[in-house]
């Protein structure tokens, strides 16, 4: 009988460094043998699946062994990259199999890593970093637990793409919300809302300027920016006039009151920094990372 092939599951970005081949005969109660003969084992079907059990291994045990070994190596790789010395490591993989409601079978996988010579927080960080591009891909719902010796494992799901703590947007949104609350009492003294304050910051830096240029500076569309400018104009802080050389162009200029407000606003950044429980260099580093993210997202938006 000639062999029948299936489509190869490959990652086109991967460079193959090692490849092996194992042949199974007889199904779950049969035999597996690698092409080089290094692996040569009988298989038995577990009693839980209706088989006779016995001393022979089964596919789930082989899968668990491979997954645990690969994941432990990923942890070691991450630790070396971070120059963290581990006194000992072990990874235990627990693999389950059972029927799905919609038919067929599914696997569940949990990994428990014990790392010696580091504290709990470091152990969790190493395990989380190892799970991702370094860990072997798996179609199962994998969950991890990391622990330092003599500590109970703290379990966390890393494959749940909808977990709130896994999202980039959430800490940005929540931090922005909390930061705006800190600004509120400071800006109340100026008679400004937070969005109006951002517009005034841009105007203090580059006015006179066109509405379009101001919108690009603030990443705001005209529909959002225009009501803010209208309110600031009503407060006597800015003026809006048509460019005599181009009637399509609206120019924003500061009034005397708007320029005077800048002097009162000069105390806001320092007052805010005093409310944030971070060192000034940490605040600056955070701002730089967010600036880099903003520039990257703007590039994506421009391409689209």
Give tens-digit pLDDT for 135-150. 555 544 455 566 666 6
Segment 41-71, tens digit of pLDDT: 999 999 998 888 888 999 999 999 998 999 9
As given in the structure block, the two tokens for residue 234 are 């009503």
Where do the CATH 2.20.25.10 domains begin and end in the chain?
A: 21-56
Reported as a single tens digit per residue, the pLDDT across 207-239 is 899 999 999 999 999 899 999 999 999 999 999
Distance CA 126, CA 291 (A): 27
Average pLDDT over residues 150-177: 70
Domain with CATH 1.10.10.10 in the chain: 167-300
What is the CATH number assigned to the segment(s) 21-56? 2.20.25.10
The pair of three-digit structure tokens given for residue 49, joined into one six-digit string: 């699946």
> Which CATH number is 167-300 given?
1.10.10.10
SS3 content of the chain, % helix, strand, coil (to 5): 45, 20, 35
CATH of domain 58-131: 3.30.300.20
């Amino acid at each position: 009988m000639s062999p029948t092939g299936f489509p190869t599951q490959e990652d086109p970005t991967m460079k193959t460094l090692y490849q092996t081949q194992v042949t199974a005969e007889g199904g779950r109660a049969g035999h597996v043998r690698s092409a080089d003969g290094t692996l040569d084992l009988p298989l038995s079907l577990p009693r839980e699946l209706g088989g006779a059990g016995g001393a022979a291994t089964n596919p789930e045990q082989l899968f668990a062994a491979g997954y645990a070994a690969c994941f432990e190596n990923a942890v070691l790789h991450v630790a070396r990259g971070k120059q963290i010395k581990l006194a000992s490591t072990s990874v235990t993989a627990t693999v389950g199999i059972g029927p799905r409601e919609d038919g067929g079978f599914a696997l569940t996988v949990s990994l428990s890593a014990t790392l010696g010579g580091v504290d709990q927080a470091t152990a969790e960080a190493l395990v989380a970093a190892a799970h991702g591009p370094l860990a072997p891909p798996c179609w199962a719902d994998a969950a991890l637990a990391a622990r330092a010796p003599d500590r109970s494992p703290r379990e966390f799901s890393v494959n749940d793409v909808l977990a709130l703590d896994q999202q980039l947007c959430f800490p940005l949104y929540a931090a922005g919300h909390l930061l705006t609350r800190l600004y509120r009492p400071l800006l109340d003294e100026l008679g400004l809302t937070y969005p109006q304050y951002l517009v005034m910051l841009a105007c203090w830096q580059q006015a006179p300027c066109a509405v379009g240029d101001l919108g690009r500076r603030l990443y705001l569309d005209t529909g959002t920016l225009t009501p803010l400018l209208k309110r600031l104009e009503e407060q006597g802080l800015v003026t809006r006039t048509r460019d005599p050389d181009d009637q399509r162009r609206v120019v924003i200029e500061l009034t005397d009151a708007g320029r005077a407000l800048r002097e009162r606003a000069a105390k806001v950044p320092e007052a805010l920094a005093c409310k944030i429980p971070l060192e000034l260099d940490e605040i600056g580093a955070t701002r730089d990372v967010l600036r880099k993210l903003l520039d990257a997202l703007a590039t994506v938006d421009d391409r689209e």
